[in-house]
Chain A
Amino acid sequence: MQRKSVGAMVTVTLAAVTISAGGSVHSGNAHRSSAPPTTGEGSAVASGVAPIDNGGVSHWQHQSDARAAIVEGFISSYGEAGGADIEFESIPYSDYFVRLGAALEAGSGPCVMQIPANIMAEFQARGQLAAMPEEVMTAEQMESTFTPASIELLDVDGQYFGVPTDVQTLLLFYNDDLFEAAGLDPTRDFETWEEFREAAVALTEMEDGSLSQAGVDLTSSPYQWYYSAPTLAHEDGLVDDETRQVNYASEAGYQVWERLTGLVTEDGVDSPEFLAEQSKFGSGLAGMALREYTFNGVYQLTAPDVNFSVHMPPPVADEQFAPVVSTSWAYAVSADCENQEGAWNWIQYLTSEDAQRTWIAEGGELPSRIALLDDESLTEDPAVAVGFAALAEAVPYDSIGWDDAFAIQQEIWDQIVVGGTDVQTAVDAGAAAENELYESKGVVE
């Protein structure tokens, strides 16, 4: 009888251990700074940030080899200057928002996170972000320090919730060798849509009735050009400032969509089935590509045999309110972060003027700080100079969504290009879906 009681107690104990082990919280693969923090004289870093901080700060961002390496370097230097211990995690993009959303909900999310400016308001509506304290930067300081395009979407009801990073513009890349082979001048920007369309047709080659060289690589960018181009055709961008509804279900919007999709449906300069999901431009099988500025660096690494140059994109509408669109992300602080001061200090360090020089030189980013726009030492490379020039005139892609909005805009494209739907029907359906999406997210009234 005694043996049986002991056996039952052992079983119950095992059950309790099993449950408690399954419920334990762990930090996963967080990477810690390799350099122990030191305090000492001269610990203040560039732009007046003094990170004397003994608390820890967790930092998540989506994975990019270049960005991860830069952040690792900053973690070391920050620690040497007496800054907080930074627990850094670089997460593959495909998992990033799933993990971030679940972790924030579970209370195990990071202190500092990188999120697209377009969904800043969404995170704020869920109460997941901390407003930037005035001691860090007042609204006036934000507006005098950073470019308007990079901070427009970070302002929610008069308060700023993040500091801009990873600024990009969409630019047109030429394969100079293919241009010359087609008798085109690779040093000229296109001044009209028709010039661009004719060049795309001239650069297109067929073999046995199938595409063998695309005039324009249209379908291989994460920020598909056709998501953002309609922004340029409306004075207040993709989304109406007053009604918070999309603008592109309009004559101007229909024109942009018709021109973009017509490149495939009528001119045949690209096809979704030609090198599907591949980088046609990087393979040397496309005359042009519309990609983010950062691909200047990417192509240098991944396509060393492609002789390319960088240009302003062509006008997409008869009346265009800006020549180019920009996108950006922001570093924000979680409302649940226990070390808010440490988190904002770290963000200031990451976005300081010196740090931005590093981001520009090594990370393929454009500056968000106004002071760097006119720095000629940064624009010695002609491609970088084009990026800076584009940024000076860029307007932000202001959709109030990210992957969910992309899915709707992709559906518009697919309906027209693959499904054969007429432009107005597809665009109207997409606009209705996108307006419904904004309403469901609680970011419009």
Chain B
Amino acid sequence: MSSPVRSGGDALTGTAPHRQSRPRRRLTMRTRRTLWAYAFLSPALLLFGVTVIYPMLRSLQYSFHRWPLGRAPKEFIGLANYRELITSDSAFHRAVTNTLFFTVATVLPTVLLALGVALVLNSRNLRARGFFRTVYFVPVVTSLVAVSYVWRWLLEPSFGLVNTALGWIGVDGPGWLSDPQWALEGVVAMTVWRDIGYYMVIFLAGLQTIPKELNEAAALDGASPWQRFRRVTVPLLNPSIVLASVIGVIYGLQLFTQVYVMTGSPSKLPGGPLGSTTSVVLFIVQSAFRPLEMGYPSAAAMLLFVFIIIVTMVQLKLLQRKFDY
């Protein structure tokens, strides 16, 4: 407790005068809580800094150099790597085209199909809902490498199950992974099949948050099921749709495992015939670890990073809506 400052003592009480003391600065409760929060976050932040931020900064540094591994001299070349990637590397352009096609071809149908499945599974009249939810989710929890290997055999042109089944209905199946016109489509088919369950779970959770009373009120007002879906369900499901789309696009742009496993073998380097399944990430890996030079693939990685950020920001701007009923 601070004492009143007096000079010459206190005539009433006859006490000696108190020394003047500086008021103690105390941290507010809010500041203390913030500092403790940072203290608990610090291990994770430090690890993130060391394992993510630092390598990204080094990669940015490499991207402005010719950076062969070993004792070979490193040469600063400015924007030459970026210039070559953007203007003259047809293999990189092909990888970008493949990746964009894959992203659009997987995200759109996967999200729509997952939404449809979620709506059906959210129905109270459906029996064995738990069983169907499991059936759709099992591919999600199965190793992507294992699933890719199985689909590689399913899509084998001569005796694979897909072409055999097509043959039963009189359709001459394509060459799938051996045909540059169909290889990427085969990878898309596998990815859509596998990821439906993942987005189904996101949409199921979102559907659970929609108050039943809103749909009931709309029905009482004479809205058809389609109108209720379009005017009530979809708007209120917006956060789930945004989440699914953003995640789907980010994963799509980082395509690697499926093409590596499905189109690579002891006799063929991954990437499909005529580079028809080479993705940007596969291009980066091959550009780095075949010639063991890090500058060029680092520039490609930086371009991919910037592109993902831009696309994500655009998606959030276009898709995110706030609805309140």
Contacts and interface: CB of A to CB of B under 8 A. Distances in A.
A41 interface: no
Given A220-B267, A273-B179, A101 B46 contact: no
Which 5 pairs across A and B sit closest by C-beta, in order of nearness?
Answer: A127-B71, A126-B70, A404-B290, A273-B175, A273-B157
Contact of A276 (B46, B177, B180): B177
A221 interface: yes
22 contacts: A7-B39, A12-B42, A15-B43, A18-B46, A23-B50, A94-B264, A94-B266, A125-B68, A221-B267, A272-B175, A272-B178, A273-B179, A275-B158, A276-B157, A276-B158, A276-B175, A277-B156, A277-B267, A407-B271, A407-B286, A410-B268, A418-B274
A73 interface: no
B291 interface: yes
Contacts of A12: 39, 42
Interface of A: 7-8, 11-12, 14-15, 18-19, 22-23, 93-94, 97-98, 101, 104-105, 122-123, 125-128, 210, 219-222, 224, 272-278, 335, 402-404, 406-407, 410-411, 414-415, 418-419, 437, 440-442
A55 B214 CA distance: 78
Given A276-B178, A414-B274, A415-B274, A98 B289 contact: yes
Contacts of A440: 291, 293
Given A93-B266, A104-B70, A440-B291, A11 B40 contact: yes
Nearest to B296: A440
A420 to B, nearest CB: 11
Contacts of B264: 94
Contacts of A122: 291-292
Interface residues of B, number: 39
B291 A441 contact: yes
A18 B48 CA distance: 11
Given A98-B289, A126-B69, A276-B175, A19 B275 contact: no
A128 B71 contact: yes
B70 A127 contact: yes
B52 to A, nearest CB: 12
Contacts of B286: 404, 407
Contacts of B269: 403, 406-407, 410
Interface string B258-298: 00000011111101011100000000011001111100000
A442 B72 contact: yes
B125 interface: no
B11 interface: no
B152 to A, nearest CB: 8
Given A105-B69, A403-B290, A419-B180, A411 B275 contact: yes
B141 interface: no
Contacts of A19: 46-47, 50
B7 interface: no
Interface in B167-192: 175, 177-180
Contacts of A277: 156, 265, 267-268
B51 interface: yes
Given A126-B68, A222-B267, A404-B290, A276 B156 contact: yes
Given A126-B292, A407-B286, A440-B291, 5 more contacts: A126-B72, A222-B267, A272-B175, A406-B269, A419-B180
B275 A274 contact: no
A150 B295 CA distance: 33
Contacts of A11: 39-40, 42-43
Interface in B43-80: 43, 46-47, 50-51, 68-72
B124 to A, nearest CB: 47
A7 B177 CA distance: 58
Contact of B158 (A126, A222, A274, A335): A274
The listed residue with most A CB atoms (<10 A of its CB), out of B43, B46, B177, B268, is B268
Given A94-B264, A273-B157, A437-B291, A22 B51 contact: yes
